[in-house]
Chains A and B, each alone.
Chain A
């Protein structure tokens, strides 16, 4: 079984809709991250959380919100989706003291 899972893997939605992307991990890591990848732009950090009570904005948090429901779960919400939020979204986890982040398989989101 995968250590970091993301649901859904693919999603098509319409402009203005609210959607939620979910991430779960079995690695026991405290730190969780949400990134988006756009063609030619690499991975950019949206939000990160160092524990259940700690949520921080990344470099491109506008239009997004997150919820850390438990150590193992970190959800990303688009309150009102817009077409330029069409991208590949990745969740990642890490443990304090180690820089390496472990990524989920990604969610491909298309906003029409």
Chain B
């Protein structure tokens, strides 16, 4: 049973336009969400996160939106750049408060290609 779903295996956008990557989850206990970026031959690197007490978090060109009622989050990249081309993983964890086990559950990833 896949608890974190990234239903789009790939996404292609033009440089300068907005990239929107989507993620759905089924476990209502998840209360912290992260996006990781992965280039070929490298490990995933942390990009941005959001706690369930918020509905938006912004860091430069990257914004993550959380819709708890829909169990949906999205990553917006504006403007998209060719260097953003990578695989993006959505991840979620349970228990940001005391007693957390800090395990991350990952989605399958979305390959973003930004065309010049």
Contacts and interface: CB of A to CB of B under 8 A. Distances in A.
Interface of A: 4, 31, 35, 40-45, 48, 50, 58, 90, 92, 94, 96, 99-106
A103 B44 contact: yes
Contact of B104 (A96, A99, A104, A105): A99
Contacts of A94: 102
Contacts of B32: 99
A105 B103 contact: no
Nearest to B5: A42
Interface stretch (B11-19, B63-71, B75-83, B105-113): B105-113
- Taking chain A's interface residues, is the majority helix, strand, or loop, or is none over half, making it mixed? strand
Contacts of A31: 102
Interface residues of B, number: 23
B43 A105 contact: yes
A99 B109 contact: no
23 contacts: A42-B6, A42-B107, A45-B103, A45-B104, A45-B105, A50-B102, A90-B43, A90-B44, A92-B43, A96-B102, A99-B34, A99-B49, A99-B93, A99-B104, A100-B46, A100-B49, A101-B46, A103-B36, A103-B43, A103-B45, A105-B42, A105-B43, A106-B41
A44 B108 CA distance: 9
B27 interface: no
A40 B89 CA distance: 11
Given A90-B43, A100-B49, 20 more contacts: A40-B9, A41-B108, A42-B6, A42-B106, A43-B44, A43-B106, A44-B106, A45-B103, A90-B44, A92-B43, A94-B102, A96-B102, A99-B32, A99-B34, A99-B96, A101-B104, A103-B43, A105-B43, A106-B41, A106-B42
Nearest to A4: B43
A106 B43 contact: yes
A56 B9 CA distance: 31
Interface string B76-98: 00000000000001000100100
